[in-house]
Copies of this chain bind each other. A is one copy, B any other.
């Protein structure tokens, strides 16, 4: 019998079609190739002049925009938003517009032409997390910027255009609608219960266990109760924290292990699936957010009903999260 489940955080119903369970092997997916293509890569050392000048780099000794780095952050060569301009809104009858103010940055995760984040050493993944943190802290100094999306597209089917492992930041002058909805629901819950809805969910999931993929003393990895997509996976800090960029060294160190382990489990279960990874965090300028709890959402790209689901906000998920959690637990590694 199919089941309708409601996600408490987004207030969204999802059909869990549990009578036609899809196992990892049932998805028609494009595995991401694990052999590098022969195109010259603008992200490899020696090609620093193929990107705009770096905003941040981890390097020992060498000069800016020269080889010798272990991580670089550069502005996107094809930015979807730009820093220059002003924020005036303008009406046109019913419609509203403003200039596309913001920032769009690329985190080049490693000098090696790694095709997947899972090929990186934990220390390199930790560097990526530090880069997210440091760039977010810098961007919040621009008071026009209200939100920073930190994300990773892996594989062409998930929107990646270059194979050298990289992540992105987009800073926006508005809070994205889905994030605002999460904030609103979490705020209502907090006003009512004086507790964080994510903290309550973490406690409940740890007790139930059936949707848990793995955990450490600091992080919980779960398949959410009303997962929209097969193998949708969330990583949540156990201790309440609203902003990712407030994370300290012990957390980022532990998160590097958790992230690598989780991605390896997904890779092993689903044969290098394309995926999108997103950090959901509180708005940059909202310093007090006792109701919101940052977390990471990983969405493997296995199904194809995108347009329909984007049009209605109604998701049909053929894999119950209890099943995908079991597959990921059984994949070993942590």
Contacts and interface: CB of A to CB of B under 8 A. Distances in A.
A198 to B, nearest CB: 10
A141 interface: no
A311 B98 CA distance: 23
A96 interface: yes
Contact of A96 (B5, B78, B201, B278): B5
Interface residues of A, number: 75
Interface string A246-284: 000000000000000000000000000001101010000
Contacts of A304: 156-159
Given A96-B8, A307-B301, A308-B153, A85 B1 contact: yes
Given A2-B80, A80-B17, A82-B1, A158 B95 contact: no
Contacts of A69: none
Nearest to A172: B314
Interface string A61-105: 000000000000000001111100100000011111111110000
Nearest to A317: B80
B308 A310 contact: no
Contact of A2 (B81, B301, B307, B308): B81
B95 A5 contact: yes
A251 to B, nearest CB: 22
A275 B5 CA distance: 28
A316 interface: yes
A190 interface: no
A297 interface: yes
A173 B4 contact: yes
Interface stretch (A108-116, A120-128, A174-182, A213-221): A174-182
Nearest to A158: B307
Contact of A149 (B82, B95, B276, B312): B312
A188 to B, nearest CB: 13
A8 B311 CA distance: 16
Interface string A6-36: 1010111101110010000000000000000
A304 to B, nearest CB: 5
Nearest to A303: B159
Interface in A180-216: 181, 197, 200-201, 204, 208
